[in-house]
């Protein structure tokens, strides 16, 4: 069952976006995508480790300075409440990354979901959920 990963295709709408309608539509898109990928399994109740990678589309060499990763993550975490997990307080570890689709990087052990994300040819988020491996560790 875990680790579980899926992709959300489209440009993320940040938390506190001025366009509240766009933010609402984005959250609904995230929820619908997660429900489709997760299926009819009940939401998890365990402590979790989550990794979210934003693959954005910008000219090669662009570091994505106009992107605020923290504000992109919040609507995603909120939209997954009640679908993948009961509540986002269960996320004990969160890795947040961003990568330029036009850059060069190596991918080891690519999942089917991540490969499908790259094949879409547009901006996407890759979300990976796993059980918390070392809940007693502080580092």
Q: What's the pLDDT at 116?
A: 95
Digit-coded pLDDT (tens) for 70-129: 889 999 999 999 999 999 999 999 999 999 888 887 888 999 999 999 999 899 999 999
89 vs 133, higher pLDDT? 89
pTM, two decimal places: 0.92
What is the rounded distance in angstroms from the CA atom of residue 25 to the CA atom of residue 7?
A: 17
- What integer pLDDT is reported at residue 112 of this predicted model? 96
pLDDT at 66: 63
Q: DSSP alpha helices (H): ranges in the chain?
A: 20-38, 69-80, 112-120
- Is the pLDDT at 65 greater than 60? The verdict is no
Output the pLDDT for position 64.
Answer: 63
Q: What digits encode the pLDDT tens for the residues 10-58?
A: 999 998 889 999 999 999 999 999 999 999 999 999 999 999 999 998 8
The superfamily (CATH) of domain 4-131 is Holliday junction resolvase RusA (3.30.1330.70)
What is the per-residue pLDDT for 69? Answer: 78
Give 41-47 contacts, CB < 8 A, sequence gap 24+. 41/1, 43/82, 43/83, 43/84, 43/85, 43/86, 44/2, 44/84, 44/85, 44/86, 44/90, 44/129, 45/85, 45/86, 45/90, 46/90, 46/131, 46/132, 47/90, 47/91, 47/92, 47/131, 47/132, 47/135
The residue ranges of every structural domain in the chain are: 4-131
């Amino acid at each position: 069952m875990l680790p579980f990963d899926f992709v959300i295709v489209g440009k993320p709408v940040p938390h506190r976006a001025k366009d509240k309608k766009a933010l609402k539509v984005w959250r609904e898109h995230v929820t619908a995508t997660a429900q489709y990928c997760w299926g009819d399994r009940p939401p998890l109740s365990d402590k979790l480790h989550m990794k979210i990678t934003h693959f954005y589309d910008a000219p090669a060499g662009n570091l994505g300075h106009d992107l605020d990763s923290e504000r992109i993550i919040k609507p995603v975490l909120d939209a997954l409440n009640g679908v993948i997990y009961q509540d986002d307080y269960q996320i004990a570890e969160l890795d947040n990354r961003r990568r330029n689709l036009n850059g060069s990087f190596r991918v080891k052990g690519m999942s089917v979901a991540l490969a499908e994300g790259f094949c879409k040819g547009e901006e996407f988020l890759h979300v990976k959920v796993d059980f918390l491996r070392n809940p007693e560790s502080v580092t």
